[in-house]
Structure 1
Amino acid sequence: MSPDASCLAFGIPLPDSSLHTCLSSDSVLLAAVGGPKWDAVPSEKRPERGLLKPRSAMELYTNIRPARMFADLSAACPLRADIAAAGIDFVVVRELIGGVYFGKHTTEERNGEQVATDIMAYSEHEIRRIAHVAFQMAQKRRKRVTSVDKANVLDTSRLWRKTVCAVAEEYPNVEPRHMYVDNAAMQIVRDPSQFDVIVTENLFGDILSDEAGQINGSIGMIPSSSMGDGSRGLYEPIHGSAPDIAGQDKANPIGTILSAAMMLRYNFGMAEEADAVEAAVETVLHTGYRCGDIMDQGGTLVGCREMGQRIRELI
């Protein structure tokens, strides 16, 4: 049961029965959740909390979000044509079960006013394990890792940088560099071609990967995988639930379809099948079919169902 459906049926974002199903599965494919109807609901009862619970229970500490622009969508890129022409192909490796999202959250009254506190905490082992994922991934790509932090301000970031530096020594064939998060946000839109693998903590990774998704033409195109030490994983598009177009056959299904391709590749070792799914997406885009979020001049506008059907027919 989805967190949205669970909130409506039981008033909680994820019942134990659904969590048990996740834990007993080889892999989980998750849709976007949430909406304005829950804006006034306490945070522990919002559908978004249903995302955090399986991530923690399944110990999925690595979130991988590829930022790759399909050549046929270059016109949809909001950046200047010369920047888009240089190419966008990097991966954001985000720590997923630590940091402020999983810290202590309190709201209390002090001196006659409400005061809210969110605790961000990281330990060395949490940083070390995500750094190893990033460096190992870079070894299979272009051998560059950019670690993003705010070490000029935050103690957690100073520990992050120190630990990443130590891990980097184990990978002499990979070039490490460090970048403050505000500069990274700027560099992603100024020159995305400079990046290969970006590794960062939970909050920064959430924001930067959404930015990276948008410069590829639409956030509706971007898949993600969440992995731990075992073979089990959770896969989902990075976009939100888009309640303003719900039920109108306008949503872009490609992010979810490419998430399923990542599941085939990473969870089940089915590289050939994953290639077939990704090739079908590329072919449909090359043919000119577009959902509303990636529509361009000369394209053929189709809805969610037709886009999914056309991709399926080519697999």
Structure 2
Amino acid sequence: MNRRIAVLEGDGIGPEIMREGLKVLSAVEKKYGHRFEIEKAPFGAAAYFSTGSSFPDQTKEVCDRADAIMKGPVGLAVQEMERIPLAERPEKAAILPLRSRYDAFANYRPVVLKKEFAEFSPLKPEVIGDGLDILMIRELVGGIYFGDKVEGEHTEDEYSHDSCVYNRMQVLRIARVAFREATRHNNHLVNVHKANVLATSRFWNSIVDEVHEEFPDVRLSSVLVDNAAYQLVKNPVQYNGVMLLENMQGDILTDEAGGVLGSLGLMPSASIGESKGYVEPAHGSAPDIAGKNIANPYSMIGSMALMLEKLFLLEKEARAVWDALTGVFSSGFRTRELTSKSTPEGKILSTTGFGDMVVELLEKA
């Protein structure tokens, strides 16, 4: 297989963890006889300081040419971000336009924690039980983040409002993605909503129920978002399968799920449209540890595995990467943020050391 990949290293620890993702991708390339052409382009806060734009035209052209996009986290320390005009800050001027440009409507975030790694989680081992295997599917280009935003004054007071809008097509397509994934994940779909208050949630639920008729073998559960947040920390195993979430609710609950895992560094992410998508770690740019070679590259490498699986349909290759990632931990090694007082210093891996071990295990498999 020949594929072209746009690489947007991002800010902070982005370049460091991206190097490890590309290192493992190169090992996949050699082991399985594929060819991946890499083209790098600036994106995020560093791009703004070097070009005057967080998402420069040259980067858009690189992404347009690519079959898939690998993106690092964006953003710098607060004092640095304050030097960027609001309209050009990466969240507004880079991330949302990237989603919109490729209509990357389906966000995949696997929440996976094997029983033997329950120590990573702040929850008790008995809560983790036999392990977590939840795929969170979040709608990414509709809802309140993309609705009209108004600020103003009226008579004696100031006001602002944000519009939350979904149309039928947006809900229909994300529901179908979630049900299809549920057929491969425990035949269980949990639909998260706020239908007791929001009209958009009632509309959402009616379409989810309609799509359920196309997938009668999938068990459909429905839960209010506030209860879902509570249950994710009280009894997360009940959600093994697929969780379907609208945009803002999904933004919040997927990060909560990262806390359940013990680190957002253990959560990869892929955002996929009808013809193109991008992958990225679920965590931020961590500028405070940038350049120290201690960042956990698991999420970036796992996101690359999602690219292989979901965008290139290379399931065998993706499985080999996942097995190698798990194998690092099974061998007793940890990255700095996953250590405990009993972790021997010789078992603590640097960013590059983690990537090297993944490559070693992949090559041996």
With normalisation by structure 2, the TM-score equals: 0.82
Match of 1:203 among 235, 244, 248: 248
Mapped partners of 1:282, 1:26: distance in 2: 28
Count of matched residue positions in the alignment of Structure 1 and Structure 2: 314
Is the CA contact (8 Å cut-off) linking 1:105 and 1:119 kept in structure 2?
yes
Render the CA deviation track for 1:98-117: whole Å, top value 9, x for unaligned: 11111122333445665332
Mapped partners of 2:114, 2:263: distance in 1: 11
Mapped partners of 2:248, 2:126: distance in 1: 30
Is the CA contact (8 Å cut-off) linking 1:138 and 1:174 kept in structure 2?
yes
Mapped partners of 2:119, 2:85: distance in 1: 41
Render the CA deviation track for 1:28-81: whole Å, top value 9, x for unaligned: 011011132215744421112211111111111100110000344211111112
Is the CA contact (8 Å cut-off) linking 1:73 and 1:294 kept in structure 2?
no
Give the Å deviation of 1:238. 0.5
Render the CA deviation track for 1:132-182: whole Å, top value 9, x for unaligned: 011111112211111111111111111111111111122111111211110
Instruction: Give the unaligned 5+ runs of structure 2.
Output: 1-41
Which residue of structure 1 aligns with residue 150 of structure 2?
A: 106
Mapped partners of 2:297, 2:261: distance in 1: 15
Is the CA contact (8 Å cut-off) linking 1:143 and 1:175 kept in structure 2?
yes
Is the CA contact (8 Å cut-off) linking 1:290 and 1:301 kept in structure 2?
yes
Is the CA contact (8 Å cut-off) linking 2:43 and 2:56 kept in structure 1?
no
User: Do structure 1's residue 169 and structure 2's residue 213 form an aligned pair?
Assistant: yes
Letter in 2 for 1:16: D
Within-5 A mapping of 1:6-85: 6-35=47-76, 36=78, 37-39=80-82, 41-49=84-92, 50-85=94-129
Seen in structure 2, the aligned counterparts of structure 1 residues 81 and 168 have a Cα distance that, compared at 3 Å, is same
Match of 1:159 among 203, 222, 234: 203
Seen in structure 2, the aligned counterparts of structure 1 residues 111 and 302 have a Cα distance that, compared at 3 Å, is farther
Within-5 A mapping of 1:74-153: 74-111=118-155, 114-153=158-197
Give the Å deviation of 1:272. 2.0
Is the CA contact (8 Å cut-off) linking 2:106 and 2:139 kept in structure 1?
yes
Mapped partners of 1:107, 1:243: distance in 2: 32
With normalisation by structure 1, the TM-score equals: 0.95
The 10-residue stretch of structure 1 (105-114 or 92-101) with the greater mean CA deviation from structure 2: 105-114
Render the CA deviation track for 1:248-271: whole Å, top value 9, x for unaligned: 222110000010111111222222
Mapped partners of 2:268, 2:197: distance in 1: 32
Mapped partners of 1:109, 1:11: distance in 2: 32
Match of 2:231 among 180, 187, 193: 187
Q: Which SS does the other structure have where 2:228 is aligned? A: helix
User: Do structure 1's residue 302 and structure 2's residue 354 form an aligned pair?
Assistant: no
Mapped partners of 1:7, 1:108: distance in 2: 29
The 10-residue stretch of structure 1 (108-117 or 208-217) with the greater mean CA deviation from structure 2: 108-117
The 10-residue stretch of structure 1 (267-276 or 216-225) with the greater mean CA deviation from structure 2: 267-276
Letter in 2 for 1:206: D
Match of 1:282 among 326, 329, 348: 326
Is the CA contact (8 Å cut-off) linking 2:138 and 2:250 kept in structure 1?
yes
CA RMSD of the aligned region, Å?
1.6
Render the CA deviation track for 1:211-235: whole Å, top value 9, x for unaligned: 11221121101111111122x2200
Mapped partners of 2:87, 2:114: distance in 1: 38
